[in-house]
Structure 1
Amino acid sequence: MTHVDLSGKVAVVTGSGRGLGLAYARSLAAAGAAVVINDVDADAAAEAVRLITADGGRAVAEVVPVGSTEAAQALVARAVDSYGRLDVMVTNAGVLRDRVLWKMTDEDFDTVVEVHLRGTFTCVRAAVERMRAQGEGGRVVVAGSPAGQRGNFGQTNYAAAKAGIAAMVRTWAMELAKAGITANAVIPVAATAMTKTIPVFAPHVEALEKDGIALPDGLRKGEGFGTAEDVAGLVTFLASDASAGVTGQCVGIGGDKLALWSHPREVSVAYADGGWSAEAIAAAWPVTVGRTPETFGIPAPQL
Structure 2
Amino acid sequence: MDLTGKIVIVTGAGRGLGRTYALALAKAGAAVVVNDVDAESAERVADEAAALGARAVAEPGAVGATATAEALAERALQAFGRLDGLIANAGVLRDRILWKMSDDDFDTVIDVHLRGTFTCVRAAVQRMRSQGEGGRIVVIGSPAGQRGNVGQTNYSAAKAAIVGMVRTWAMECSRDRIAVNAVIPVAATSMTKSIPVFEPHVRAWEERGEPLPEWLRAGAGFGTPEDAAGLPVFLLSDAAGAITGQAIGIGGDRLSLWSHPREAVSAHREGGWDADAIASAWPSVFGPGIESYGIPAVEAPEA
> TM-score normalised by the shorter chain: which range applies?
over 0.9
5 Å-filtered alignment, 1:244-259, equals: 244-259=241-256
2:186 is the counterpart of 1:227: no
**Is the CA contact 2:97–2:152 (under 8 Å) kept in the aligned structure 1?**
yes
Q: Which amino acid counterpart does residue 241 of structure 1 have in structure 2?
A: D
Task: Determine whether 1:214 maps to 2:240.
Answer: no
Structure 1 distance, partners of 2:269, 2:170, is 36
Equivalent in 266, 283, 287 of residue 280 of structure 2: 283
Structure 1, 50-59 or 111-120: larger mean CA deviation: 50-59
User: Among 70, 74, 95, which residue is 1:77 paired with?
Assistant: 74
Residue 171 (structure 2) pairs with residue 202 (structure 1):
no
Aligned position for 1:140: 137
- The 2-side partners of 1:41 and 1:272 are apart by 58
Q: Equivalents in 1 of 2:4, 2:54: separation in Å?
A: 11
Report the equivalent of 2:47: 50
Paired residue for 2:38, among 41, 44, 56?
41
**TM-score (normalizing by structure 2):** 0.98
Q: Percent identity?
A: 64
Mapped to 2, the partners of 1:261 and 1:298 lie a distance apart of 14
Q: What CA deviation, in whole Å up to 9, does each residue of 1:3-41 have, x standing for no partner?
A: x21111100000000100000000111111100000011
| TM-score, normalised by the number of residues in structure 1 | 0.98
Deviation at 1:271, TM superposition (A): 1.4
**Inter-partner Cα distance in structure 2 for 1:207 and 1:169:** 36
Q: Name the amino acid aligned to 1:266.
A: E
CA contact (8 A) 1:223 1:302 kept: no
The answer to whether the Cα contact below 8 Å between 1:14 and 1:21 also exists between their aligned partners in 2 is: yes
Query: How far off its partner does 1:302 sit?
Result: 3.1
Q: CA deviation at 1:209?
A: 0.7
Q: Is the 8 A contact 2:264 2:289 kept in 1?
A: no
1:95 to 88, 92, 95: 92
User: Could you tell me how far apart the structure 2 residues matched to 1:57 and 1:83 are?
Assistant: 12
Alpha-carbon distance between aligned partners in 1 of 2:129 and 2:178, rounded to the nearest angstrom? 8
The two structures, once aligned, show a CA RMSD in angstroms of 0.7
How far did 1:289 drift?
1.5
The 1-side partners of 2:59 and 2:47 are apart by 14
Aligned-partner Cα distance in 1 for 2:84–2:283? 51
d(CA) in 2 for partners of 1:109, 1:29: 34
**Cα drift, residue 292 of structure 1:** 2.8
- 1:196 is paired with a residue of what secondary structure? coil
Which among 83, 86, 102 is matched to residue 83 of structure 2?
86
2:63 matched to which residue of 1? 66
Alpha-carbon separation, structure 2, partners of 1:56 and 1:239: 19
Q: Which residue of 2 aligns with 1:174?
A: 171
The answer to whether residue 270 in structure 2 is matched with residue 295 in structure 1 is no
Q: Aligned residue pairs: how many?
A: 300
**Cα displacement (A) at 1:290:** 2.2
Which residue of 210, 215, 236 maps to 1:239?
236
Q: What does the per-residue CA deviation read over 1:75-113, in whole Å, with 9 as the maximum and x for residues that have no partner?
A: 001111000000001100000111111111111111100
Contact 1:144 1:162 in 2 (8 A): yes
